[in-house]
Amino acid sequence: MPANPFIDESSIRYDGWRIVAVCFLVATFGWAFGFYGQSVYVAELHRLHGWPTSLISTATTCFYLFSALLVAFVSEAIRGIGPRNCMLIGVVAMASAAAGMGQVTAVWQLYAVNALLAFGWAGTSLGMITNTLGLWFNNRRGMAISLALNGASFGGIVGVPLIVAAIANFGFSGAMMVAAAAMIVLLVPVIFVFVGPPPAQLHAVAASRVDAPSATTIRARALRDPAFLSVSIAFALVLFAQVGFIVHLISFLDPVIGRERAAVAVALLTAMAVVGRLLFSTVIDRLNQRLASAISFASQAVALAIVINLHNEIALFAACALFGFSVGNLITLPALIVQREFAPGSFGVLVSLITAITQISYAFGPGLIGLLRDASGSYALPFYGCIGLQVIAAALILLRGKRGRS
């Protein structure tokens, strides 16, 4: 899409930056309840009801898989009822599921609540945020998405500790009710007030191009397009390794440096994800984004090799920092590659499709890494497997193929 002379996206007065702030808040709650909160739910439900961890974790996997199917259609939902209504539905579903999680007393209820949580995740996570910001930004889209998605890291740094503190004071049921109420009270008015119609110029161009071809046709063409497949498969492999490694990091570090220092290492990794995203946001729209992705993949592979082979505390902290530096950017880069290489009218559909593909992939990461760890007796084998996936992905992302036409 050519630059629009009537819209100055770099101006601090541009309305799009209000939408970035709203998306930051939505991401904070979305990741706190939908992504990082899953570890809290597993621990509390096991403690309260004595259900096997594997049973509760299976419900989490079902949540990721079902929400991946929903995310694939986010762009059509936004086109049909608008970003404001989609966000509101997502927030209400997320808050309702959070409140319901605290009331679960039977296994079937857990699966039902996770199904509702999937609707909330689809309406508050990556697909919703990138599609929404795509309606307000073109030239500064990379910066806008990067800044908004810092809310995802903020949800892990601040949101989860607050939930845990609330559980200590109000119990699991009471804490989830309070958290759900806070989400409704804070987000619903903000979305109502600040999320209006997108700029007429950008919306008109996007709408005219999305109408032809249809979303179904765009998806079908993309899944036969080497340029699209090289992006989606590469990021699916990387996020499988990334999510699996992060989930198992404390378990790996605990016997090496102790639980307290392991928690510090995870916090450092998360903080570096914010630093990396902030630094990249200033230049990410001008980079060779495939090359930047490959370098990020390779840096994570190096970090994993250090973690496996060096048990020195300083080296482990440095490796976690190196790994974390690219964690946030690997969420942002697929959308920017799609923007640069594919037709503007297909942006929303293709970003939603990539998000669904990668989410299906990383849903199995923690479980498979756990199985390999149990079978081999250590984390060396599964972590070396993650290094292999990172290296394959780094080579694959550079195989651009012919220019995408989806």
Tens of pLDDT, residue by residue over 103-152, are 999 999 999 999 999 999 999 988 899 889 888 887 778 788 888 888 88
Mean pLDDT of the chain: 85
Q: Where does the pLDDT of residue 203 fall: very low under 50, low under 70, confident under 90, or very high at 90 and above?
A: low
403 against 356, higher pLDDT:
356
Rounded Cα distance, 152 and 274, in Å:
9
144 and 100 within one domain: yes
Rounded Cα distance, 125 and 336, in Å:
17
254 and 374 within one domain: yes
Q: Is residue 8 part of a domain?
A: no
312 and 217 within one domain: yes
9's tokens? 């996206």
Of 183, 209, 235, which closes a domain? 209
358 and 295 within one domain: yes
223 and 205 within one domain: no
| Backbone torsion region of residue 171, taken as left when φ is above 0, otherwise alpha when ψ lies between -120 and 50, otherwise beta | left
Please tell me the number of Cα atoms within 13 Å of 384 on its side-chain side.
8
Give this prediction's pTM: 0.77
377 and 230 within one domain: yes
220 and 95 within one domain: no
199 and 245 within one domain: no
Of 209, 226, 254, which closes a domain? 209
Burial environment of residue 375 by CB neighbours within 10 A (0 to 12, 13 to 18, 19 or more): exposed
256 and 144 within one domain: no
Task: Report CA torsion sign: 292, 151, 319, 232.
Answer: negative
Tens of pLDDT, residue by residue over 24-82, are: 999 999 988 988 788 788 778 888 888 887 778 788 888 888 988 898 888 889 988 99
Of 172, 187, 209, which closes a domain? 209
181 and 262 within one domain: no
Tens of pLDDT, residue by residue over 15-24, are: 888 999 999 9
Query: Amino acid identity of 218?
Result: I
363 and 216 within one domain: yes
pLDDT at 2 over 50: no
Distances (CA, A) of 23 to 30, 83, 146: 10, 11, 11
pLDDT at 401: 53
Q: Show Cβ contacts of residue 18 under 8 Å, excluding neighbours closer than 6 positions.
A: 194
Q: Is residue 77 part of a domain?
A: yes
167 and 256 within one domain: no
pLDDT at 282: 77
pLDDT at 383: 92
pLDDT at 396 over 90: yes
Q: Where does the pLDDT of residue 210 fall: very low under 50, low under 70, confident under 90, or very high at 90 and above?
A: very low
Range of 267's domain?
212-401
Q: Report how many domains make up the chain.
A: 2
The CATH number of whichever domain residue 372 belongs to comes to 1.20.1250.20
